[in-house]
Each structure stands twice: as C-alpha cells, then as structure tokens.
A = this chain, B = another copy of it.
Amino acid sequence: MKSLGQKGVVVRTIQRADKKDLVTLAVSGVATVHEAQGRKGLLDPAIRPIQQNKSLAGSAVTVLLAPGDNWMFHVAVEQCRPGDMLVAVPTSPCVDGFFGDLLATSLQARGVVGLIADHGVRDSRTLREMGFGVWSRSVYAQGTVKETLGSVNVPVICAGQLIMPGDTIVADDDGVVVVARADTARIAEKARQREELEESKRARMAAGELGLDIYQMRARLAEKGLRYVETLDDLEE
C-alpha cells in the first residue's frame, strides 16, 4: 500500500457503497455493525461524539493534514458528494481545532453528513445547532494555518484503523466503526438480521425470561465449575 499517507495528492474518483446499505447500517448502529462484521473496525474510544442521539453512516472521503494546518479541508470539500462522511487525520498527534462552523457550512451545502476527526474541533455549539455530526479527539479553540500540503482520498490510519477512500463509516453515541466498501452490502444484511434476532431476545428478556435460560448457559457454567453457596460466610469456611 504505497499510497498510505502519501502527501500532495488529490484523488478525484472513488467508489462508494450503495446508499440503501448505508441507511441500514445507520439504523443498526455501531455496536451491532461491529458484531456483524466479526468484531473488527472500531476506532479508538478516544474519538467521541460532540453531540448525543445521532447515528450516521456515510462514505469516507479522507483528508490527510499537516499538524496545525487545515488547508486541505478546503481542497477536500470539492471532492465530496451527498452522503459522504469526511475522515480527517493529522500526520502527527495534534489536538488543535482544525475544523469549525464555516467548513461545516460548506460541507453541509454539498450534502456531507458528518466528520470523523482524529484531532480537535471548535465552534462546537454551532456545529450541534447545525445538526452536523462530529466525532473528534478533542474540543479546543486553538486555530490552525494554511501552509502545508496534505492529501485527499488516499488511504489513512485514523484512530488505529486503516480507512480506504470510499469505505463505509458508521458513527453513533458509542463511537465509530469502519466497514470495507466491498463488504458493506453483506454486513448491512447481517446487521439487519442481527437486529431482528436481538429484537426477539429483547422481548423475552423484557418479559422476565433470563439470559441463562434463553441462551441455555446453565450446563456449561456448571461444567466449568461454577459453585452456588448460600452466604458469604459459607465461602470463608
């Protein structure tokens, strides 16, 4: 993957997953999608939403930034389409406020649904009021310059995960997960099935049935040696 982290390049054409699969994934949410694809793809838990009650899915347009320099955001805007999600990564750790309400306005005008930022953002209140979804490493008003080239739509590593341009990003109150573009339809179907299955479990549990019985765990627990005693004193004898 020679292009990983390459600087000074803008890739114009990327493949995106099907819109209807993105909708399915946004409804399923991060925890279910993560399970549906075999427990992989989660970004580091240090990436937190700046708002509550928002669940989004979009196609990744990636932006590689120099630390303390947000110039490439402007280049990235032009490459975005409705339904995209911007994924922004500085080339070394930096908590500055690379992103604020003006850039969000420009992205929203192009139909971009949100931002995943492995750095800080500012104007956080306005971003919430605009309904533009943001997941970031920090909130910090420190401004940035426009001096150094980065890249748009090259592969990036964001908060510990490899993200290819066009990959599907799902983000909600639990955090962020990436699904490979080519796997999106398959994982969307799996997530949908999983949701259905959970729904039936939820109904039984709400009615008071125990997971021990629904999942038939008692035998295996006994076999592993689980021991029931009446009181703590029995234990200390």
Instruction: Please list the residues of chain A having a beta carbon within 8 angstroms of any beta carbon in chain B.
Output: 1-14, 29-31, 34-35, 38-42, 44-45, 48, 52-53, 55, 66-68, 71, 73-75, 77-78, 91-97, 100-103, 105-106, 108-110, 120, 122-125, 128, 138-143, 145-149, 153-155, 157, 159-162, 164-165, 172-175, 177, 180, 182-183, 198, 201-202, 205-208, 210-212, 215, 217, 221, 224-232, 234-236
Contacts and interface: CB of A to CB of B under 8 A. Distances in A.
A83 to B, nearest CB: 16
Contacts of A180: 1-2
A6 B73 CA distance: 28
Contacts of A205: 102, 105-106, 109
A141 B11 contact: no
A84 to B, nearest CB: 15
Number of copies: 6
Contacts of A96: 67, 92
Contacts of A3: 232, 235-236
24 contacts: A2-B182, A8-B227, A9-B227, A11-B230, A11-B231, A14-B231, A31-B123, A42-B141, A42-B142, A55-B125, A74-B211, A74-B215, A77-B211, A102-B201, A106-B205, A109-B205, A122-B174, A139-B173, A140-B174, A140-B175, A148-B224, A149-B224, A159-B160, A165-B232
A210 to B, nearest CB: 6
A230 B2 CA distance: 17
Given A78-B210, A108-B206, A155-B232, 15 more contacts: A3-B236, A7-B38, A12-B229, A13-B230, A14-B232, A31-B143, A34-B141, A34-B142, A92-B140, A101-B202, A109-B205, A139-B173, A149-B221, A153-B232, A157-B161
